[in-house]
Chain A
Amino acid sequence: MDPIRQNLPVLLDGLRLTIQYSVVAIILMVVIGLVAALMRLSKVALLRWIATAYVEIFRSTPLLVQLFFIVLGLPAILPVNRWFGQLTYPILAAAFTLSLNEGAYVTEIVRAGILGVDRGQKEAAQSIAMNGFQTMRYIVLPQAFKRMIPPLVNQAAQTIKDTSLLAPVGIVELVYKGQIVIAQTFASFAIWGLIAALYFILIFSLSKFSSYLERRLQVDKR
């Protein structure tokens, strides 16, 4: 019990950082996913091509490799550390890479959600003289969003777990702090168990919140 009690404040500080990275990545992944999904459904071939290339590249390479490549690889050829600051660059780059990676999956969730809306809804919007933007904004996206909640929550849970991959590229968060604690205490069983429990509490609360949200929006009914 002692190693846990002694090191709990350190781990909770790591948890705070994990939550911060998660919140930033979840917000960014939804924004990126929405933009890329609209690009994939665009009439302009170039936009479709860019968005498709983005999704395929990020889906077909491991997140860990992407993180190493951008956080540690890029500074070898570009003076990014000078541009953003020696300490800031890895943090920015890691958060951004994580968001881009998760955003690739969100793109497909949003795209499927939009395509799942009945074509008649779009035609009815056009028939009352709505333009493309108004049709998307007032008719298609609100209906698509309700269907997207379950897969988006799933993706958010994945994103929280994926923040643990920031540790290997030197970003301080829960796993990073845990490794430091274990190096000092050798209590690997207790500390890894505690770390797992902290992730579990975080993600379990998220899934409870999402069931509440789904009930509020009555996904099946309307």
Chain B
Amino acid sequence: MDWLANLGRATLDRFAAVGRASYVLYGALIAVPQLKNIPLTIRQMYVVGVQSLSIIMVSGLFIGMVMALQGYTILVDYGAEGSLGPMVALSILRELGPVVTALLFAGRAGSALTAEIGLMKATEQLSSLEMMAVDPLRRIIAPRFWAGIISMPMLTVIFSAIGILGGHLVGVEWLGVDAGSYWSIMQSTVEWNEDVMNGVIKSVVFAFVVTWIAIFKGYDSIPTSEGISAATTQTVVYSSLAVLGLDFVLTAIMFGIE
């Protein structure tokens, strides 16, 4: 009967965790209208956005370059290297931009958020805010949450733009695809709403999920060094899995059904 009890307890624990996560989310969401939070959010945008910029830009450039190189070697066999532009642009805008940005964001900013909040908990900073009659959900969690949700779509757009430029660099400058056809066929194929906006919508969803997991794992961590390191790992693992799973669902909804 032990396994049954264990199963029951595990299930109850899960539900309790979902409940606590929802409470954190609620606390973060209702805190939007506070004007006082705007400077704090800007400060957090610096931490999660600006500081992730370099890794996002470098990755975007290389992924665009690799896409162009791979695409060219395949397309040139069919004499269709003119379609390199749309191939690079579509795969980056629809898939690689949102997904890779979210994965890098989870590793770079998400883990840092978890560790930071976990440490604030361990050093009693969160408790002391509460004793000062300041709601830590408002002052600590909410700015980080909103900074994450605002920053990640911006990072995604930057990633995609740089990726397409990287594709241009390799495809046009190096492999000699005609610059006119790279851009013009891309323009006639890529749709603003269907391709660009869907990618941005994806990244907003990913931002929501990754930031939520990161702040919840930090807020809910066991305030010891082991607890924080476990929470940080969990943030990266859970948010990566959530991003990849959600990506499939979103892709099916957006592009799968006509």
Answer yes or no: are A and B bound together in one complex. no
Q: Which residues of B contact A (CB under 8 A)?
A: none
Which residues of A are at the interface with B, using a C-beta cutoff of 8 A? none
